Each structure stands twice: as structure tokens, then as C-alpha cells.
Amino acid sequence: MTTLPVLNQKGQKLSELTLDEKVFDGEINKPLLHQVVRMYQANLRQGTHATKTRGEVSGGGKKPWRQKGTGRARVGSIRSPLWRHGGTIFGPHPREYRYTLPKQMKQLALRSGLNAKVKDGEVVVVDKLQVATPKTKEFASALNALKVEGKALVVVDKVSEALRRSSRNMPRISLKSQQEVNAYDLLRYPKIVIEEAAFTALSKTCEGLS
């Protein structure tokens, strides 16, 4: 039976959280994680890259020289793709990269991500994360007490305005509610700080999957 310590904001142990064996079975589906991560990365692409074909490059309306008698290769336009400053052959054009996978696949990937983080000891469970005033210093001191250094994903049951404002000046910290978390988020960050209620909600999301 796997358990995780539940800490308070001062880093003191309050209790232990028993993990559901149906969810936290230690199984990590790497091919599925790869598929899901590729999907989320593709959905982040803007697809605004563009090149110009020979018909879109300015200039080139006049034939540079006559067809025959010069001893030079025949050319119809100085904007030929063979010429400098000419058009681009088969270059990229604006397109939509977004696609989606079945909901159950994304949930299974989330379960694999949770298993991987728990297995590697990269999950810190907190009973409740809150700040009295929306100040970065107060939020940072709570993370220091939890021995969280560097990049980290902070998952709460519900993002309050005070927490949002306290964390927005910390570029290496990502604050999300448990409804927003996906497998890509879990794998991006070496440390996961999560409220007990949020952890329980994520575990229930992954229940009954096979």
C-alpha cells in the first residue's frame, strides 16, 4: 500500500494519504504519454509560418534577356526559385496543427503521468495552499518551507485571486486548478506541489480506466 505524507504550508507533516491501488498501480504507458504530449505540443503551435511562391514575390515582370542568341540559359523571370531573391518551392504556409485524441486516452495518460511522478518521489501533497495577502514573498516562503526549488507545478482545488496574483511574478512556477491539469503539465515540471483535495479529485478522474 503506497502512502504520501500530507504537509502543511510550513513543511510539517500532518498525516498520510493512502493512494488508491487501482489508480496508482505503478504502470507507466510511455507510448501513450508520447502520443498525448505530441498532441498538446501541436495544439500550442500558432501555424503562422509563411513563405512566398514565385507568384507572390515582388518584381520579375520583365524577361531578363531574349530567349535565344545570348549564349546564356533561357530565363523567364528574375524571381525564379533558382535565383537569389526568387520564390520558394514547397515552402511552409499558414496552417492549423490542432488535433485531439479521445478523452479516455488523455485520462489514461494523466494516470500514467501521476504514477511516474509518485514513483520518482516528485509529488508534494499539501493540506491547503493559501495566502493572507496577494504578495509573491508570502507564496515563495510557503514553497521554500516545502523545499521546492526551481521549476514546479502548483495544483490547487480552486485558484483564488490572491494565489493567482501571488504566483504571477514567479516565471518558474505554474499555478493551475486540478480541472486544468493534463499529462503534458505533469511531465514538464520536475516537482509537483498539489493540494490534498486536488490530488483526490485527480485520482477520481483516473478511476475505472483500463
pLDDT value of position 2: 82
Question: pTM here?
Answer: 0.82
Mean pLDDT of 94-118: 94
pLDDT value of position 206: 84
| Among the listed residues 130, 124, 101, 114, the one whose alpha carbon sits nearest the alpha carbon of residue 185 | 114
pLDDT digits over 126-151, tens only? 999 988 889 999 999 999 999 998 89
Per-residue pLDDT band for 115 (boundaries 50, 70, 90) equals very high
pLDDT value of position 205: 86
- Tell me: pLDDT of 104 over 90: yes
pLDDT value of position 37: 96
Which domains can be identified in the chain, with CATH numbers?
A: 3-29+100-205 (3.40.1370.10), 46-96 (no CATH)
